[in-house]
């Protein structure tokens, strides 16, 4: 637990200027952690840093593009110089493009892959260079149900999330081989109410939206904080994530057909796309960074599935008690 430490933890978060990254920065700061904030928009980072410092901790905003491996390495060195040894590194930065594969350009595919996949690789490698000599630390990969079950209209993003899971699993095996005490975990997210749906590159005729059910970024942030403090291989957020992953294991072909019928409409708002809508694919959209997106009225602020996943001993104990009581009632039945 954070309050049991002799000093606050140092946490690095990529994609910290908005959405899940900003929510996670505030959640860690509330628990006494110093936070390094990495993203492209310095003004947005400064704004996040101001909110973080209100909790009496230090914040270090660093403007960079996570697709630049040298910039990520330089930022990691700066964090350790100014805040101290990195305890937790959270890879969260992402980009996506909405549209059928045929509508995407090679440059768009490459850009999403460089940020959403390779950005995680560069961040993980920078963290490992510092954690390995100390033989401690935690790396959290912010994943998605889409790391298991792809959907139409986001092929580049789904491919990147699948790649992150493959990379993470391979690295976890290497850490186990080395008997390393560094913990590597992945948090699989549901649809979230973040600003990405207002500024993502879009080739669809209508503005994009998350597939319901939708959860608030604070739910994701709580899961990330929990994952950083517990040695769990993966954490699932939202019953929709659990259902998607399990259903894909059981009947992937049926899901292909179902998503082929419903996946387009589920990701498009009724309103037609605004031709002047901004895109953050190549440059950040200034002045629009915040935690929540435009779907507050539809978003859930809690997740029962996350509570169950993070309270397994309690749930198991309750299940055993209920089973024991049921058996006793059955055993005492006169007609048994």
What pLDDT shows up at residue 3? Answer: 43
DSSP 273-313: PPTT----SSS--TT---S--S-GGGEES--HHHHHHHTHH
Place of tokens 């059955």: 330
| pLDDT tens digits along 16-25 | 999 999 999 9
End-to-end CA distance of the chain: 50
User: Is the CA virtual torsion 320, 323, 329, 330 positive or negative?
Assistant: negative
How many angstroms separate the CA atoms of 328 and 322, rounded? 10
What pLDDT shows up at residue 221? Answer: 98
The secondary element (H helix, E strand) that includes residue 219 is helix 217-229
What pLDDT shows up at residue 307? Answer: 80
What pLDDT shows up at residue 315? Answer: 57
Active site residues: 157
What pLDDT shows up at residue 271? Answer: 87
Both tokens of residue 139?
Answer: 């790396």
Specify the pTM: 0.92
| pLDDT tens digits along 245-282 | 999 999 999 999 999 999 999 999 998 998 888 999 99
Q: Classify domain 2-302 by CATH number.
A: 3.40.50.720
- 136, 181 in Cβ contact below 8 A? yes
Sequence spans of domains, the chain: 2-302, 310-336
What pLDDT shows up at residue 305? Answer: 79
Tens of each residue's pLDDT in the chain, 336 residues:
444 344 569 999 999 999 999 999 999 999 999 999 999 999 999 999 999 999 999 999 999 999 999 999 999 999 999 999 999 999 999 999 999 999 999 999 999 999 999 999 999 999 999 999 999 999 999 999 999 999 999 999 999 999 999 999 999 999 999 999 999 999 999 999 999 999 999 999 999 999 999 999 999 999 999 999 999 999 999 999 999 999 999 999 999 999 999 999 999 999 899 888 899 999 999 999 999 999 999 999 998 878 888 866 665 665 555 555 556 666 666 665
| pLDDT tens digits along 35-82 | 999 999 999 999 999 999 999 999 999 999 999 999 999 999 999 999
What pLDDT shows up at residue 235? Answer: 96
**Average pLDDT in the chain:** 93
Nearest to 5 by CA among 88, 65, 118, 98: 88
What pLDDT shows up at residue 332? Answer: 67
Helices (H) and strands (E) in the chain, counts: 12, 14
What pLDDT shows up at residue 319? Answer: 56
How many angstroms separate the CA atoms of 71 and 77, rounded? 10
What pLDDT shows up at residue 87? Answer: 97
């Amino acid at each position: 637990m954070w309050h049991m430490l002799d000093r606050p933890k140092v946490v690095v978060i990529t994609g910290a200027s908005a959405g899940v990254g900003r929510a996670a920065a505030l959640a860690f700061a509330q628990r006494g952690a110093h936070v390094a904030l990495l993203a492209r928009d310095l003004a947005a980072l400064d704004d996040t840093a101001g909110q973080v410092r209100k909790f009496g901790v230090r914040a270090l905003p660093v403007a960079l593009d996570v697709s630049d491996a040298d910039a990520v390495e330089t930022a990691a060195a700066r964090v350790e110089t100014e805040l101290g040894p990195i305890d937790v590194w959270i890879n969260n930065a992402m980009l996506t493009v909405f549209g059928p594969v045929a509508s995407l350009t090679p440059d768009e595919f490459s850009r999403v892959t460089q940020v959403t996949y390779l950005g995680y690789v560069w961040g993980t490698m920078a963290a490992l260079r510092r954690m390995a000599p100390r033989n401690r630390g935690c790396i959290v990969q912010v994943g998605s149900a889409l790391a298991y079950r792809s959907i139409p209209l986001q092929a580049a993003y789904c491919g990147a999330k699948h790649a992150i899971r493959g990379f993470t699993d391979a690295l976890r095996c290497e850490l186990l081989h080395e008997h390393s005490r560094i913990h590597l975990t992945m948090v699989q997210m549901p649809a979230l109410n973040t600003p990405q749906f207002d500024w993502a590159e879009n080739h669809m005729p209508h503005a994009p939206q998350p597939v319901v059910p939708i959860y608030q970024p604070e739910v994701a942030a709580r899961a990330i904080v929990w994952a950083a403090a517990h040695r769990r291989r993966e954490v699932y957020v939202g019953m929709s994530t659990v259902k998607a992953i399990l259903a894909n294991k059981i009947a992937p072909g049926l899901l292909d057909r179902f998503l082929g019928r419903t996946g387009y409409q589920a990701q498009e708002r009724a309103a037609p796309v605004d031709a002047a809508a901004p895109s953050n694919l190549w440059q950040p959209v200034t002045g629009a960074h915040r935690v929540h997106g435009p779907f507050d009225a539809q978003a859930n602020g809690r997740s029962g599935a996350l509570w169950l996943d993070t309270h397994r001993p309690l749930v198991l104990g309750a299940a055993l008690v209920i089973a024991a009581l049921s058996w006793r009632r059955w055993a005492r039945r006169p007609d048994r």
